Structure 1
């Protein structure tokens, strides 16, 4: 009887852990506000969500021996700050008004996931007319920020805090690091060298409303929305 109770308790704990592991909190900015005894991060005003699936052999580039894939973003106005976070696997995480890729729809029941590592990069393309496949290929890309593990994100099914989150504040005095109008991209891979495989949720956020932000997996798809 004691053995059965122990097994039941462990099973219940695992179920609760898995449910909690996929509970995504509101995306908080770097701005903090004190409410009573607690200090909270004020949620971003503008959040765009993208649901995708990373498959073996579909990477866009190899950087420092890591297989990177990209999600492109058109930012139509000056932003004081941008936040980026990535969760894998998506599992039963609920997200409103997310862009759902065809690859995600076809693989949404997959249990595959990966140890996320993300970067935020800014290009030298500052106009919509410059957003082309050749333009993106020949542009100079500057890495603004990166993140591997974030304790602010839900834990993965393994129990490890291997999901990612970063916040980048605009450096107005720098021609390459200010968050101006232009083409940006999220780079993602795994911490360890190897294949990137699994469902993921990627979100880009700002503390102010940025009407006209477009997010897509390829330059071709991005161009269609501009």
Structure 2
């Protein structure tokens, strides 16, 4: 009986381990552009992808909106883009990318199994010159939500087997100044769909179908300015 229990436990552990590895396997970030490859139609991968590894927890949120604790990652976009993609994965247990930006919070909690139900927004500010970026200017800037997403079937499932990770794609509307992807300061907002605490490791990626030399991505404005001045 004990041997049977031991075998069952080992089998379950192996299954959970396999699930955990698969859960972290991210496909290439595909754009809205599609092409035929033999009998299949595939999404053309984004050319430029910037990755940010972080850890969110109660107390380091940036704002409370509609009862939800929102966190922001700021992105400087130095050129006009036809499209931007954003995706977020939580938790982050065995992701490997040497080019990814690792925040101090992520380094401190690396390997944590904490995770949350991601909900993301892509927001554009009224700041269009890097010389105008400051903590005070960001607080008084006008922010417009271009797109949002809660659950995406394109993303790996969370440890409980649910499609609770997020992905969005936003195409620029050049004829509409309010909806165009111009040079300027953007941010990725994230929280949980339901009102509650946000805690866990995460990967956030912002991508474009064209190269954006000089793009920067950081949790704080001070950190963003340091990246931009390197």
- Report the TM-score range of the alignment, normalised by the length of the smaller protein: over 0.9
| Unaligned ranges ≥5, structure 1 | none
Corresponding residue for 1:185?
A: 187
Q: 1:110 & 1:75 partners in 2: Cα distance?
A: 31
**Within the alignment, does 1:173 sit opposite 2:175 as a pair?**
yes
Shift of 1:10: 3.8
Q: Deviations over 1:106-130 (max 9, x none)?
A: 1012110000000000000000111
CA distance in 2, matches of 1:70, 1:33: 34
> In the alignment, what sits opposite 1:48?
50
TM-score normalized by the length of structure 2: 0.94
Aligned-pair RMSD on alpha carbons?
A: 1.5
Sort the Cα spacing of 1:79 and 1:17 in 2 relative to 1 into closer, same or farther, 3 A: same
Q: Is the 8 A contact 1:124 1:140 kept in 2?
A: yes
1:23 paired residue number: 25
Worse overlay, 41-50 or 1-10: 1-10
SS in 2 for 1:84: strand
> Unaligned regions of 5+ residues in structure 2, if any?
none
* Aligned residue in 2 for 1:93: 95
The CA distance in 1 between the partners of 2:13 and 2:225, in whole Å, is: 48
Q: 1:107, 1:14 → 2: CA distance?
A: 21
1:15 CA drift (Å): 2.2
CA contact (8 A) 1:57 1:195 kept: no
Q: CA deviation at 1:40?
A: 1.1
4+ residue segments displaced more than 4 Å: 1-9
Instruction: Please report the TM-score for the alignment, with normalisation by the length of structure 1.
Output: 0.95
Matching of residues 97-176 of structure 1 within 5 Å: 97-176=99-178
Q: How many residues align?
A: 226
